[in-house]
Amino acid sequence: MQQLLDAQRRFFATQATKPIAFRKKQLDRLEKLLKQYEGELYAAIYADFKKSEFDTYTSEIALLYQDIKEAKRNLTYWAAKEHVPSSLINFPSKSYIIKEPLGACLVIGAWNYPYLLSLAPVIAAIAAGNTVILKPSELPARTSAVLEKLINTNFEPEFLKVVEGGVPETTELLKLQFNKIFFTGSTKVGKIVYEAAAKHLTPVTLELGGKSPAIVMADCKLKLAVKRLVWAKFLNAGQTCIAPDYILVEKSIETKFLQALREEIISEHFSVENHNYVQIINDDNFERLLQMIDAEKVWYGGETRAQERIIEPTVLRDIDFDHKSMQEEIFGPILPVISFESLDTILPKLHDLPKPLATYVFTASKKKKEQILKYVSFGGGMVNDAVMHIANSELPFGGVGMSGIGAYHGKTGFDCFSHHKSMVEKATWLELPLKYYPHTASRFKWIKRLLKLS
């Protein structure tokens, strides 16, 4: 691994990755390979956890094509020198920012959207002019193998290379001195990555998770809210970092809400055979999720099939914050519903919880919406829908507090793999004497005036 990193460092030092033409050529190459391997990508992910072609295309592959297209279209503008006003104290001068690639980057992916979460940061890193070692998640083994084949048989290792593996391999990689580490995964492992990066003062982006609530107010369009929430929660069988983790529903509509939830889940006919549902990724996660299903609280669902690692969409009612489903991110198809009397009681509670990656607000009231958005801190979110904010690359995507550090997507992604080198270029046709000795009373007077003006 050290040799591979050394080779990437040497390649970066040749300046080969810096020209815009080189970056676009690599993005073109990746786009063509994605097209060429599309069939294999679908087959691998279906074999790993029964994710359908429809879901893989709409929630992963299509987004990667969009990322590549957007990066190619905007690269020249993103990478351009950015001029900013100069300060009077430096007169005469001009000031600008150079967007400089960071160098040799490490991208560590999560398993739940394995193509998107591995390759979207890689696209941003290439666009910004870096070299990359990609370590995809080992849990979907066939998916990781296809990524390895797609990249390692088509790109030069000194520029872009996949290193497969689990904890031991990632631990070895994390000992090395990269110029940037981009990690997607759990808060627990995020802390390990942060600690390892600190040894070399390596900058990190940590895309983590958390318990993202959906707050359902009595004045919302109930049927539509439920339809959107059910889709967002049970997509990928709840194994989505920005899935609504639990529901907070206003007490006055709790019964109506639960009824609508049950009807909507039934009408969706979720099943692997219908290609709108997936397996739980492995036995460990299956067992972990089973512990959260409290038979006495099941309002809908609760059926499980251990051999196939299937948990049917499950709604838990009469839940409070002490319930076992509320102690960690669920990351599965279990939806606890907590009722509350008024925003005044629930907002202070949300304020004191770890800041989640997302929060969703369902209301027709501008006042209530503003109150919630002002009071509660979270990575990003939506009003009257859930999950789909990820589809707008104009919005930075990332967490805050325990849900992450930094953000990416679109230009924010380019920036997160770039150093902004600040430059002042001083003219040589004039030199004001004010800062020099002797510090006479008149120079002091003039410099005070200048500093006030600048």
Q: Point out which span in 135-143, 197-205, 247-255, 310-318 binds ligand NAD (CB under 6 A).
A: 135-143
Q: Which of residues 390-419 bind ligand NAD (CB under 6 A)?
A: 399, 404
- For the segment 314-333, give every residue that binds ligand NAD (CB under 6 A): 329, 331
Q: Closest approach of Cβ 290 to ligand NAD, in Å?
A: 17
Closest to 356 (Cα-Cα) out of 332, 373, 335, 381: 381
Q: Which of 64, 127, 346, 357 binds ligand NAD (CB under 6 A)?
A: 357
Question: Judging by beta carbons within 10 Å of its beta carbon (0-12, 13-18, 19+), is residue 13 exposed, middle or buried?
Answer: exposed
**Cβ neighbour number for residue 118 with a 10 Å cutoff:** 26
Min CB(331)–ligand NAD separation in Å: 5
Identify any residues that bridge with 184 across adjacent strands, giving them in sequence order: 207
Of the ranges 17-25, 201-209, 292-300, 380-388, which one interacts with ligand NAD (CB under 6 A)?
A: 201-209
CB of 351 to ligand NAD, least distance (A): 21
Which positions from 229 through 258 interact with ligand NAD, judged by CB under 6 A?
241
| Distance in Å, CB of 416 to ligand NAD, minimum | 13
Name residue 300's beta-bridge partners.
315
CA-atom Rg of the chain in angstroms: 25
Asked if 128 and 98 count as a contact pair (C-beta separation under 8 A), the reply is: no
Contact 419, 217 (CB under 8 A): no
Q: Which of 186, 304, 365, 384 binds ligand NAD (CB under 6 A)?
A: 186
Q: What is the C-alpha to C-alpha distance for residues 228 and 234, in angstroms, rounded to an integer?
A: 10
Exposure letters 335-359 (e unless 16+ CB within 10 A, then b) = bbbbbbeebeebbeebeebebbbbb
- Tell me whether residue 193 or residue 293 sits nearer to ligand NAD (CB atom): 193
Nearest residue to ligand NAD on Cβ basis: 209
Cα–Cα distance for residue pair 450/25, rounded to 1 Å = 49
- Residues 78-117 close enough to bind ligand NAD by CB under 6 A: 108-112, 117
- Given a contact cutoff of 8 angstroms between Cβ atoms, the answer to whether 133 and 106 are in contact is yes
Which of 2, 44, 87, 150 minimizes the C-alpha distance to 422? 87
- Could you tell me if 387 and 235 are in contact, meaning their C-beta atoms sit under 8 angstroms apart? yes
Report in angstroms how near the CB of residue 151 gets to ligand NAD at its nearest: 15
3-state class (DSSP) for residue 20: helix
The single residue among 47, 192, 373, 450 that binds ligand NAD, judged by CB under 6 A, is: 192
User: Which of 13-21, 205-213, 358-366, 381-389 is the region at the interface with ligand NAD (rule: CB under 6 A)?
Assistant: 205-213
Q: Which residues are catalytic?
A: 207, 241
Q: Work out which of 60, 67, 158, 207 binds ligand NAD, going by CB under 6 A.
A: 207
* Contact call for residue 185 and ligand NAD (CB under 6 A): yes
Looking at 36-44, 206-214, 302-310, 435-443, which segment touches ligand NAD (CB under 6 A)?
A: 206-214
Chain contacts with ligand NAD (rule: CB under 6 A): 108-112, 117, 135, 137-138, 166-167, 170-171, 184-186, 189, 192, 207-209, 241, 329, 331, 357, 399, 404
